[in-house]
Structure 1
Protein backbone atom coordinates (compact mmCIF):
# COMPACT_ATOMS: atom_id res chain seq x y z
CA UNK A 1 0.00 0.00 0.00
CA UNK A 2 1.21 3.45 -0.93
CA UNK A 3 -1.06 5.46 1.35
CA UNK A 4 -1.55 5.47 5.08
CA UNK A 5 -5.23 6.32 5.44
CA UNK A 6 -6.83 7.22 8.75
CA UNK A 7 -10.62 6.76 8.65
CA UNK A 8 -13.00 8.46 11.07
CA UNK A 9 -16.67 7.59 10.72
CA UNK A 10 -18.70 10.03 12.79
CA UNK A 11 -21.91 8.59 11.33
CA UNK A 12 -21.31 4.90 12.08
CA UNK A 13 -22.86 4.20 8.68
CA UNK A 14 -19.81 3.18 6.63
CA UNK A 15 -18.90 -0.49 6.82
CA UNK A 16 -15.39 -1.86 7.17
CA UNK A 17 -15.81 -3.39 3.70
CA UNK A 18 -16.68 0.01 2.22
CA UNK A 19 -13.66 1.58 3.91
CA UNK A 20 -11.47 -1.21 2.51
CA UNK A 21 -12.77 -0.50 -1.01
CA UNK A 22 -12.06 3.23 -0.56
CA UNK A 23 -8.57 2.40 0.69
CA UNK A 24 -7.87 0.16 -2.31
CA UNK A 25 -9.34 2.71 -4.73
CA UNK A 26 -7.27 5.60 -3.37
CA UNK A 27 -4.13 3.46 -3.37
CA UNK A 28 -4.88 2.68 -7.01
CA UNK A 29 -5.27 6.41 -7.71
CA UNK A 30 -2.05 7.12 -5.79
CA UNK A 31 -0.19 4.63 -7.95
CA UNK A 32 -1.51 6.24 -11.15
CA UNK A 33 -0.59 9.70 -9.85
CA UNK A 34 2.89 8.60 -8.66
CA UNK A 35 2.29 9.55 -5.03
CA UNK A 36 5.29 8.72 -2.81
CA UNK A 37 4.96 5.66 -0.62
CA UNK A 38 3.92 6.39 2.95
CA UNK A 39 1.85 9.47 2.10
CA UNK A 40 -0.82 10.14 4.70
CA UNK A 41 -4.49 10.97 4.17
CA UNK A 42 -7.33 11.42 6.63
CA UNK A 43 -10.89 10.59 5.59
CA UNK A 44 -13.84 11.58 7.75
CA UNK A 45 -17.42 10.54 7.15
CA UNK A 46 -19.80 13.10 8.64
CA UNK A 47 -23.44 14.19 8.62
CA UNK A 48 -24.87 17.18 6.78
CA UNK A 49 -24.83 19.47 9.81
CA UNK A 50 -21.12 18.86 10.43
CA UNK A 51 -20.13 19.44 6.80
CA UNK A 52 -22.39 22.51 6.64
CA UNK A 53 -20.47 24.07 9.54
CA UNK A 54 -17.12 23.22 7.93
CA UNK A 55 -18.33 24.58 4.58
CA UNK A 56 -19.52 27.78 6.27
CA UNK A 57 -16.38 28.30 8.34
CA UNK A 58 -13.81 27.52 5.64
CA UNK A 59 -15.54 28.31 2.36
CA UNK A 60 -18.11 30.92 3.39
CA UNK A 61 -20.99 28.77 2.11
CA UNK A 62 -23.61 28.08 4.79
CA UNK A 63 -24.98 24.88 3.28
CA UNK A 64 -24.07 21.21 3.28
CA UNK A 65 -21.88 19.92 0.48
CA UNK A 66 -20.83 16.43 -0.56
CA UNK A 67 -17.06 16.57 -0.08
CA UNK A 68 -14.45 19.02 1.18
CA UNK A 69 -10.69 18.57 1.03
CA UNK A 70 -7.96 20.27 3.02
CA UNK A 71 -4.57 19.87 1.39
CA UNK A 72 -1.69 20.05 3.86
CA UNK A 73 1.10 20.08 1.29
CA UNK A 74 0.02 23.39 -0.24
CA UNK A 75 2.28 26.23 0.74
CA UNK A 76 0.58 29.41 1.81
CA UNK A 77 2.00 32.82 1.07
CA UNK A 78 5.24 33.33 2.98
CA UNK A 79 5.49 29.69 4.11
CA UNK A 80 8.77 27.86 3.76
CA UNK A 81 8.85 24.38 2.24
CA UNK A 82 10.44 21.80 4.53
CA UNK A 83 12.11 19.04 2.56
CA UNK A 84 13.24 15.82 4.20
CA UNK A 85 13.41 12.51 2.36
CA UNK A 86 12.57 10.60 5.55
CA UNK A 87 9.27 12.35 6.22
CA UNK A 88 6.28 10.94 4.31
CA UNK A 89 4.09 13.60 2.74
CA UNK A 90 0.98 14.59 4.67
CA UNK A 91 -1.46 15.06 1.82
CA UNK A 92 -4.39 16.26 3.89
CA UNK A 93 -7.95 15.47 4.86
CA UNK A 94 -11.05 14.52 2.91
CA UNK A 95 -14.44 15.06 4.56
CA UNK A 96 -17.44 13.31 3.01
CA UNK A 97 -21.10 13.84 3.88
CA UNK A 98 -22.75 10.42 4.09
CA UNK A 99 -26.32 11.78 3.75
CA UNK A 100 -25.26 13.74 0.63
CA UNK A 101 -23.53 10.66 -0.80
CA UNK A 102 -26.70 8.60 -0.31
CA UNK A 103 -28.88 11.35 -1.79
CA UNK A 104 -26.63 11.74 -4.84
CA UNK A 105 -26.34 7.98 -5.41
CA UNK A 106 -30.13 7.82 -5.60
CA UNK A 107 -30.31 10.96 -7.77
CA UNK A 108 -27.71 9.65 -10.24
CA UNK A 109 -29.05 6.10 -10.24
CA UNK A 110 -25.94 4.30 -9.06
CA UNK A 111 -24.81 2.55 -5.90
CA UNK A 112 -23.87 4.25 -2.66
CA UNK A 113 -20.44 2.61 -2.98
CA UNK A 114 -19.91 4.15 -6.42
CA UNK A 115 -20.83 7.60 -5.08
CA UNK A 116 -18.60 7.15 -2.04
CA UNK A 117 -15.74 6.13 -4.34
CA UNK A 118 -16.37 9.09 -6.62
CA UNK A 119 -16.34 11.54 -3.72
CA UNK A 120 -13.18 9.99 -2.25
CA UNK A 121 -11.34 10.19 -5.60
CA UNK A 122 -12.61 13.74 -6.15
CA UNK A 123 -11.32 14.81 -2.74
CA UNK A 124 -8.05 12.93 -3.24
CA UNK A 125 -7.37 14.68 -6.55
CA UNK A 126 -7.92 18.01 -4.80
CA UNK A 127 -5.26 16.99 -2.26
CA UNK A 128 -2.89 16.40 -5.16
CA UNK A 129 -3.49 19.91 -6.47
CA UNK A 130 -6.17 19.32 -9.09
CA UNK A 131 -9.05 21.76 -9.23
CA UNK A 132 -12.07 22.67 -11.34
CA UNK A 133 -12.24 26.45 -11.08
CA UNK A 134 -11.81 26.90 -14.83
CA UNK A 135 -13.26 24.95 -17.73
CA UNK A 136 -9.81 23.59 -18.63
CA UNK A 137 -9.05 22.52 -15.04
CA UNK A 138 -12.46 20.88 -14.81
CA UNK A 139 -11.89 18.94 -18.01
CA UNK A 140 -8.55 17.60 -16.72
CA UNK A 141 -9.77 16.75 -13.22
CA UNK A 142 -13.07 15.18 -14.22
CA UNK A 143 -11.37 13.13 -16.92
CA UNK A 144 -8.90 11.80 -14.32
CA UNK A 145 -11.75 10.96 -11.92
CA UNK A 146 -13.64 9.08 -14.60
CA UNK A 147 -10.53 7.24 -15.75
CA UNK A 148 -9.53 6.16 -12.23
CA UNK A 149 -13.03 4.96 -11.33
CA UNK A 150 -13.50 3.09 -14.61
CA UNK A 151 -10.06 1.47 -14.57
CA UNK A 152 -10.61 0.42 -10.96
CA UNK A 153 -13.99 -1.02 -11.94
CA UNK A 154 -16.26 1.24 -9.89
CA UNK A 155 -18.64 2.30 -12.65
CA UNK A 156 -22.14 3.73 -12.75
Structure 2
Protein backbone atom coordinates (compact mmCIF):
# COMPACT_ATOMS: atom_id res chain seq x y z
CA UNK A 1 0.00 0.00 0.00
CA UNK A 2 1.20 3.51 -0.76
CA UNK A 3 0.23 6.43 1.45
CA UNK A 4 0.78 9.81 -0.18
CA UNK A 5 0.96 13.09 1.74
CA UNK A 6 0.21 16.04 -0.55
CA UNK A 7 1.36 19.60 0.14
CA UNK A 8 0.42 22.51 -2.11
CA UNK A 9 2.69 25.48 -1.44
CA UNK A 10 1.18 27.30 -4.44
CA UNK A 11 -2.45 27.06 -3.28
CA UNK A 12 -3.35 26.41 -6.91
CA UNK A 13 -3.79 22.65 -7.25
CA UNK A 14 -7.34 21.48 -7.78
CA UNK A 15 -8.52 18.51 -5.71
CA UNK A 16 -9.15 16.60 -8.97
CA UNK A 17 -5.39 16.76 -9.77
CA UNK A 18 -4.55 15.47 -6.30
CA UNK A 19 -7.00 12.59 -6.73
CA UNK A 20 -5.62 11.73 -10.18
CA UNK A 21 -2.00 11.74 -9.02
CA UNK A 22 -2.96 9.63 -6.01
CA UNK A 23 -4.62 7.07 -8.29
CA UNK A 24 -1.71 7.06 -10.80
CA UNK A 25 0.93 6.57 -8.09
CA UNK A 26 -1.10 3.88 -6.32
CA UNK A 27 -1.55 2.09 -9.66
CA UNK A 28 2.20 2.39 -10.38
CA UNK A 29 3.08 1.08 -6.91
CA UNK A 30 0.94 -1.99 -7.56
CA UNK A 31 2.58 -2.48 -10.98
CA UNK A 32 6.00 -2.24 -9.33
CA UNK A 33 5.10 -4.87 -6.74
CA UNK A 34 5.27 -2.59 -3.71
CA UNK A 35 3.80 -4.35 -0.69
CA UNK A 36 3.58 -3.38 2.94
CA UNK A 37 3.07 0.12 4.28
CA UNK A 38 4.99 2.69 2.24
CA UNK A 39 4.81 6.48 2.27
CA UNK A 40 5.86 9.34 0.03
CA UNK A 41 5.21 13.05 0.09
CA UNK A 42 4.33 15.11 -2.99
CA UNK A 43 4.82 18.87 -2.75
CA UNK A 44 3.75 21.40 -5.37
CA UNK A 45 5.91 24.52 -5.59
CA UNK A 46 6.62 27.40 -7.97
CA UNK A 47 9.72 27.82 -10.18
CA UNK A 48 11.46 30.02 -7.62
CA UNK A 49 11.24 27.37 -4.89
CA UNK A 50 12.26 24.46 -7.11
CA UNK A 51 15.21 26.50 -8.44
CA UNK A 52 16.34 27.06 -4.84
CA UNK A 53 16.09 23.32 -4.11
CA UNK A 54 17.85 22.44 -7.38
CA UNK A 55 20.67 24.87 -6.54
CA UNK A 56 21.03 23.64 -2.96
CA UNK A 57 20.85 19.89 -3.65
CA UNK A 58 22.08 19.47 -7.22
CA UNK A 59 24.23 22.59 -7.69
CA UNK A 60 22.13 23.56 -10.74
CA UNK A 61 20.88 27.13 -10.47
CA UNK A 62 17.87 26.75 -12.76
CA UNK A 63 14.27 25.73 -12.24
CA UNK A 64 13.47 22.12 -13.09
CA UNK A 65 10.20 20.24 -13.45
CA UNK A 66 10.49 17.68 -10.66
CA UNK A 67 12.93 16.63 -7.96
CA UNK A 68 13.11 13.32 -6.11
CA UNK A 69 14.60 12.90 -2.66
CA UNK A 70 14.87 9.14 -1.96
CA UNK A 71 15.11 7.94 1.61
CA UNK A 72 16.35 4.45 0.72
CA UNK A 73 19.71 3.36 -0.64
CA UNK A 74 19.82 1.04 -3.63
CA UNK A 75 22.59 -1.35 -4.55
CA UNK A 76 23.00 -3.34 -7.72
CA UNK A 77 20.01 -5.52 -6.85
CA UNK A 78 16.43 -4.40 -7.38
CA UNK A 79 14.67 -3.41 -4.22
CA UNK A 80 12.45 -6.03 -2.70
CA UNK A 81 9.36 -5.00 -0.78
CA UNK A 82 8.28 -7.20 2.05
CA UNK A 83 5.50 -6.83 4.54
CA UNK A 84 6.84 -5.05 7.59
CA UNK A 85 5.25 -3.78 10.74
CA UNK A 86 6.39 -0.17 10.32
CA UNK A 87 5.63 2.07 7.34
CA UNK A 88 8.62 2.64 5.06
CA UNK A 89 9.24 6.25 3.96
CA UNK A 90 10.32 6.04 0.30
CA UNK A 91 11.05 9.73 -0.07
CA UNK A 92 9.84 13.11 -1.24
CA UNK A 93 8.65 14.37 -4.62
CA UNK A 94 8.69 18.09 -5.45
CA UNK A 95 6.86 19.26 -8.59
CA UNK A 96 7.08 22.73 -10.12
CA UNK A 97 3.55 23.79 -11.07
CA UNK A 98 5.01 26.49 -13.34
CA UNK A 99 7.16 23.98 -15.25
CA UNK A 100 4.32 21.45 -15.46
CA UNK A 101 2.09 24.09 -17.06
CA UNK A 102 4.87 25.15 -19.50
CA UNK A 103 5.64 21.56 -20.49
CA UNK A 104 2.00 20.53 -20.92
CA UNK A 105 1.66 23.36 -23.43
CA UNK A 106 5.04 22.63 -25.07
CA UNK A 107 4.32 18.90 -25.48
CA UNK A 108 0.68 19.57 -26.40
CA UNK A 109 -0.88 17.30 -23.86
CA UNK A 110 -3.10 17.83 -20.85
CA UNK A 111 -1.93 19.21 -17.55
CA UNK A 112 -3.34 16.01 -16.02
CA UNK A 113 -0.92 13.93 -18.07
CA UNK A 114 2.03 16.21 -17.29
CA UNK A 115 1.42 16.14 -13.53
CA UNK A 116 0.94 12.36 -13.69
CA UNK A 117 4.12 11.90 -15.76
CA UNK A 118 6.21 14.02 -13.39
CA UNK A 119 4.86 12.31 -10.26
CA UNK A 120 5.38 8.85 -11.78
CA UNK A 121 8.88 9.76 -13.01
CA UNK A 122 9.80 10.82 -9.50
CA UNK A 123 8.23 7.74 -7.88
CA UNK A 124 10.32 5.53 -10.16
CA UNK A 125 13.44 7.42 -9.01
CA UNK A 126 12.41 6.75 -5.40
CA UNK A 127 12.20 3.06 -6.32
CA UNK A 128 15.74 3.00 -7.72
CA UNK A 129 15.25 3.74 -11.42
CA UNK A 130 17.53 6.28 -13.02
CA UNK A 131 18.52 7.59 -16.43
CA UNK A 132 22.25 8.10 -16.01
CA UNK A 133 23.10 6.08 -19.10
CA UNK A 134 21.30 5.38 -22.37
CA UNK A 135 20.05 1.88 -21.47
CA UNK A 136 18.77 2.94 -18.03
CA UNK A 137 17.03 5.90 -19.66
CA UNK A 138 15.34 3.64 -22.24
CA UNK A 139 14.19 1.27 -19.48
CA UNK A 140 12.87 4.01 -17.23
CA UNK A 141 11.06 5.96 -19.93
CA UNK A 142 9.56 2.79 -21.41
CA UNK A 143 8.30 1.81 -17.94
CA UNK A 144 6.75 5.26 -17.47
CA UNK A 145 4.97 5.08 -20.82
CA UNK A 146 3.74 1.55 -20.14
CA UNK A 147 2.27 2.52 -16.78
CA UNK A 148 0.67 5.74 -18.05
CA UNK A 149 -0.78 4.00 -21.11
CA UNK A 150 -2.15 1.12 -19.06
CA UNK A 151 -3.66 3.61 -16.63
CA UNK A 152 -5.31 5.36 -19.57
CA UNK A 153 -3.19 8.53 -19.84
CA UNK A 154 -1.75 8.07 -23.32
CA UNK A 155 0.00 10.85 -25.19
CA UNK A 156 -2.45 12.90 -27.21
Q: Is the TM-score greater than 0.5?
A: yes
After the TM superposition, which residues 59-98 of structure 1 pair with which residues of structure 2 at under 5 Å, given as runs? 59-74=58-73, 85-98=84-97
Contact 1:36 1:88 in 2 (8 A): no
Q: Give the C-alpha shift of residue 88 in structure 1.
A: 1.8
User: For residue 148 of structure 1, what is the aligned residue in structure 2?
Assistant: 147
Q: Secondary structure at the match of 1:4?
A: strand
In structure 2, how many angstroms separate the alpha carbons of the residues matched to 1:116 and 1:12?
15
Task: Give the drift of 1:32.
Answer: 0.5
Query: Structure 1 length as normaliser, TM-score?
Result: 0.92
Q: Does the CA-based 8 Å contact 1:40-1:89 persist in structure 2?
A: yes
CA–CA distance in 1 between the matches of 2:111 and 2:103? 8
Distance in structure 2 (CA, Å) of the matches to 1:39 and 1:120: 16
* CA distance 1:84–1:37, change in 2 (3 Å): closer
In the TM superposition, residue 95 of structure 1 has moved relative to its aligned partner by 0.2
Structure 1 unaligned segments of length 5 or more: list them.
Answer: 77-82
The aligned runs of 1:50-129 (5 Å cut-off) are 50-74=49-73, 85-129=84-128
TM-score norm. by structure 2 comes to 0.92
The CA distance in 2 between the partners of 1:113 and 1:75, in whole Å, is: 30
Q: For residues 10-36 of structure 1, what are the alpha-carbon distances to aligned partners after superposition, in whole Å with 9 as ceiling and x for unaligned? A: 011111111011001000000000112
CA distance in 2 between partners of 1:23 and 1:85 (Å): 22
Unpaired runs of 5+ in structure 2? 76-81
Quote the residue 1:7 is aligned against: 6
SS at structure 1 position matched to 2:119:
helix
Question: Could you report, residue by residue, the CA deviation over 1:40-68 in whole angstroms, capped at 9, with x for unpaired residues?
Answer: 00000000000000000000000000000
Runs of 4 or more above 3 Å deviation: none
Per-residue deviation, residues 109-147 of structure 1 (Å, max 9, x unmatched): 001111000000000000000000000100110000000
User: Do the aligned residues in 1 keep the contact of 2:39 with 2:87 (CA within 8 Å)?
Assistant: yes
What root-mean-square deviation, in Å, do the aligned CA atoms of Structure 1 and Structure 2 show?
1.6
